[in-house]
């Protein structure tokens, strides 16, 4: 794997007028962790590569055993697409950390390998970052029109609501969808978090650390097409308990890497990040 250089924080880059839209966007890295998604990964990659952005699409096969690896061989050597593989299944968080080590884009978006989230909505997440309106962007399923927001099981929705309450209690930040897959960051920000996640605890870890870094978080409405456990959904109620433990674990974390000029991680009990 080729080593990469950490993107400079915004304060270290020249200040220039910000343009928005695919033509003006800097390189975008899309991280796609994959585990046993033979039935969806090919179509998902077709949709991702069709999005009109300058992209680096990093696919991390996390030890799939259902023929996913064979499907991915069709994408070997395709423009924009880079394939990485874990010989054994390690978990979503481990796959994302492997992909992040290869990221070259100024911004990074996380994309699941199923078809629940629409790649055509990347612009919704990148817009606030490019315009300097936020430092982290979450695509919220619960800011979408009511019909879409009520999709998914009642247990799943209750779990997400409880995690949102925990974020508010522990970090003083109001979110509507802490557990969303669609999260967009400047790549240097994700690296500064020194992630340790192995499984689905990626989401609570980055939320906790974004709060502890004092980053402004913007939520934008996105569409969502949930699938059932029978259709391949892998997250379970026990992952909600793990998420709660992770939110508690990082409540006093402070980054080791230097933050941009004028920003420091809040000390214990100090000011909270903004959410817009």
CATH number of residue 135's parent domain: 3.90.550.10
**Average pLDDT rounded to a whole number, residues 241-265:** 78
List pLDDT tens digits, range 113-141: 989 999 999 999 999 999 999 999 999 99
Distance in angstroms (rounded) separating the CA atoms of residues 93 and 71: 22
Identify the three-state secondary structure at position 132: coil
Residue 255 lies in a domain: no
Identify the three-state secondary structure at position 247: helix
Whole-model pTM: value is 0.81
* List of residues 6+ apart from 181 with CB closer than 8 A: 110, 111, 112, 116, 117, 139, 203
Domain span at residue 176? Answer: 23-249
Residue 194 lies in a domain: yes
Nearest to 44 by CA among 103, 105, 120: 120
| Number of domains composing the chain | 1
Residue 41 lies in a domain: yes
Choose the weakest-confidence range: 100-104, 249-253, 267-271: 267-271
Residue 269 lies in a domain: no
Distance in angstroms (rounded) separating the CA atoms of residues 188 and 100: 10
């Amino acid at each position: 794997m080729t080593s990469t250089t950490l993107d400079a924080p915004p304060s270290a880059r020249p200040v220039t007028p910000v343009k928005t839209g695919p033509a003006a966007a800097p390189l975008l890295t899309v991280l796609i962790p994959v585990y046993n998604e033979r039935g969806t990964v090919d179509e998902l990659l077709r949709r991702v590569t069709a999005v009109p952005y300058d992209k680096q699409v990093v696919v991390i096969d996390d030890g799939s055993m259902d023929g996913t690896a064979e499907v991915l061989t069709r994408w070997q050597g395709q423009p924009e697409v880079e394939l990485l593989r874990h010989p054994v299944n390690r978990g979503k968080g481990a796959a994302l950390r492997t992909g992040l080590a290869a990221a070259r884009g100024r911004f990074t978006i996380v994309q699941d390998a199923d078809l629940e989230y629409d790649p055509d909505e990347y612009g919704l997440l990148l817009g606030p970052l490019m315009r300097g309106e936020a430092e982290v962007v979450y695509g919220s399923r619960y800011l979408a029109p009511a019909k879409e927001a009520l999709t998914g099981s009642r247990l799943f929705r209750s779990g997400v609501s409880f995690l949102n309450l925990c974020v508010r209690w522990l970090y003083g930040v109001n979110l509507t969808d802490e557990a969303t897959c669609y999260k967009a960051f400047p790549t240097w920000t994700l690296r500064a978090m020194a992630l340790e996640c192995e499984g689905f605890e990626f989401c609570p870890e980055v939320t906790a650390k974004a709060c502890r870094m004092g980053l402004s978080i913007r939520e934008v409405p996105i569409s969502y097409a949930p699938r059932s456990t029978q259709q391949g959904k892998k997250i379970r109620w026990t992952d909600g308990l793990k998420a709660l433990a992770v939110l508690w674990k990082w409540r006093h974390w402070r980054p080791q890497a230097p933050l941009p000029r004028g920003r420091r991680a809040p000390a214990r009990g100090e000011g909270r990040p903004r959410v817009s």
